[in-house]
């Protein structure tokens, strides 16, 4: 019996108002494509109420929902998070860190 794929979650949090927007990706390898990763982050940022909150702490988080491993990266401004190159590189970096924690390749059900 094959375990259910719970995918990876990508989330953006605004520490100024403790608001979070997230989305689950059942095939997270698509986030290795810079345009897709940048678009995913942009969609999450647009879901936050950021009016007047262009500065402060924003956090990008990647979580493997199958094993609970989660890593995040802090951003000091919304503009830094909105930058497509910075967003895409950060998503790829975080996914690689999460994947580094996977100990048993046989139980990996996320399509890697």
Is the residue at 76 inside a domain? yes
Q: Is residue 1 part of a domain?
A: no
Angle formed at CA 73 by CA 68 and CA 75, multiple of 5 degrees: 145
Spatial separation of the C-alpha atoms in residues 45 and 32, rounded to whole Å: 19
Indicate whether 111 pLDDT > 60. Answer: no
Residue 71 lies in a domain: yes
Of all residues in the chain, what percent carry a pLDDT higher than 90? 60
Residue 108 lies in a domain: no
Question: Residue 16's pLDDT is what?
Answer: 84
- Is 2 domain-assigned? no
Number of domains in the chain: 1
Kindly state whether residue 110 falls inside one of the protein's structural domains.
Answer: no
Please give the residue range of the domain that contains residue 88: 8-103
pLDDT(103) > 60: no
Name the phi and psi angles at 102, rounded to 5. -75, 120
**Is residue 109 in some structural domain?**
no
Could you tell me the pTM of the whole model?
Answer: 0.83
Mean of pLDDT values over 49-65: 79
- The CATH number for 34's domain is 3.30.160.220
């Amino acid at each position: 019996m094959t375990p259910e794929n719970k995918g990876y979650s990508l989330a953006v949090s605004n520490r100024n108002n403790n608001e979070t927007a997230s989305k689950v990706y059942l095939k997270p390898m698509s986030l290795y494509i810079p345009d897709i990763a940048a678009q995913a982050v942009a969609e999450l940022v647009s879901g936050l109420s950021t009016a007047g909150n262009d500065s402060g702490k924003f956090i990008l988080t990647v979580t493997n929902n199958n094993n609970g491993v989660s890593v995040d990266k802090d951003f000091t401004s919304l503009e830094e998070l909105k930058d497509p190159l910075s967003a895409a590189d950060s998503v790829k970096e975080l996914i690689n860190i999460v994947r580094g924690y996977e100990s048993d390749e046989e139980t990996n059900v996320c399509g890697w």
